[in-house]
Amino acid sequence: MAIHKSLFASLLICLLFQISHGATKERLFSDLEKGALEVTAKPSRESVLDAGIDKLSITWKLSSTATKEAEFTTIKVKLCYAPVSQVDRPWRKTENELFKDKSCPHKIITRAYDKSPQSFEYTLERDIPTGTYFVRAYAVDAKDHEVAFGQSTDEAKSTNLFSVQAISGRHKSLDIASVCFSVFSVLALLVFFVNEKRKAKIEQSK
C-alpha cells in the first residue's frame, strides 16, 4: 500500500510540474515581426563552401518598416537550414512554437542592438553539417524574448541560399591506428587457436 501511495504522490508531483512548466512556453514564431531587420549573407565564393575554411560576410540593419524597435536590446544571428536540408530529418524541423523550433541551431554571433548597420565576417565552424542554409537575425528584448527577425532569404526560403560541405572528420593517424589494432586482434586469436590445437594433439598422442 505504501508503494501505491508514494507512486501516486510522485505522479501528482509530475503532473504539477507539467502544468506549471507548460504555461510559459506559448511564444510563437508567427507572432514575431517579419522583416524588421534587413539581413544579407554573402559567401566568400560561389561554389559549395567548405566548413572550417570558407567565410560568410553578414550584414544587418534596421529595416524602414520596423515598428518594435524600442524593445530591441540584443541581436542574435543564426545559421538556419533551408527546407531541402530538412527533408526526412525531423530533428531539424521548423515549428511555430519558438522553444520547439529546431531549424536554426547554429549560433553565429550575438551583439547588443545598435541603430547603425552592422556587419560580421563569419568563418564556418568545423561542426557545421553538410547542407543548404540561410542566415536569420532575431531581435531580442530585455527579457530574452524574441520580438522580431530578419533573414537573408525570402519568406518561402528559396532565394539566396548557400551550400556547405562539412569536414569529413577522418584523419590518417586514425586510419593507421585502426588497421594496427585490427590486425593485432585477429593475430592474437589465431595464435591462441593454433597453439591450443597443437597442445591437444600432443595430449592425444601421449
Partner 1 sequence: MASNEEGSIGTSLHGVTAREQVFSFSVDSSSQTLQSDDPTAKFTLPVDSEHRAKVFKPLSFAKPHMRAFHLGWISFFTCFISTFAAAPLVPIIRDNLDLTKTDVGNAGVASVSGAIFSRLAMGAVCDLLGARYGTAFSLMLTAPTVFSMSFVTGPVGYLAVRFMIGFCLATFVSCQYWTSVMFNGKIIGLVNGCAGGWGDMGGGVTQLLMPMVFQVIRLAGATPFMAWRIAFFIPGFLQVVVGVLVLTLGQDLPDGNLSTLQKSGQVSKDKFSKVFWFAVKNYRTWILFVLYGFSMGIELTINNVISGYFFDRFNLKLQTAGIVAASFGMANFFARPFGGYASDLAARLFGMRGRLWILWIFQTVGALFCIWLGRASSLPIAILAMMLFSVGTQAACGALFGVAPFVSRRSLGLISGLTGAGGNFGSGLTQLLFFSTSRFSTADGLSLMGAMAVLCTVPVAFIHFPQWGSMFLRPSSDGERSKEEYYYSSEWTEEEKRQGLHEGSIKFAENSRSERSRKVALADFPTPETRTPTHV
User: Shortest Cβ distance from residue 70 to partner 1 (Å)?
Assistant: 31
* Residue 75 · residue 122 · CB < 8 Å: no
* Residues near partner 1, by CB under 8 A: 10-11, 13-15, 17-18, 21, 52, 87-91, 99-100, 126-127, 129-131, 166-171, 174-175, 177-179, 181-186, 188-189, 192-193, 196-197, 200-201, 203-204
- Pick between residue 65 and residue 184 the one whose CB is nearest to partner 1: 184
* Residue 141 · residue 88 · CB < 8 Å: no
User: Shortest Cβ distance from residue 204 to partner 1 (Å)?
Assistant: 4
* Residue 62 · residue 118 · CB < 8 Å: no
- Pick between residue 27 and residue 34 the one whose CB is nearest to partner 1: 27
- Pick between residue 65 and residue 178 the one whose CB is nearest to partner 1: 178
d(CA 178, CA 132): 33
- Pick between residue 20 and residue 64 the one whose CB is nearest to partner 1: 20
User: Shortest Cβ distance from residue 186 to partner 1 (Å)?
Assistant: 7
User: Shortest Cβ distance from residue 169 to partner 1 (Å)?
Assistant: 3
User: Shortest Cβ distance from residue 171 to partner 1 (Å)?
Assistant: 6
Cell numbers 515549428: residue: 95
- Pick between residue 115 and residue 172 the one whose CB is nearest to partner 1: 172
Residue 136: partners with Cβ closer than 8 Å, 6 or more residues away = 39, 77, 78, 80, 104, 149, 150, 151, 152
CA distances in angstroms from 33 to 26, 27, 36, 117, 135, listed in the order given: 16, 13, 6, 19, 16
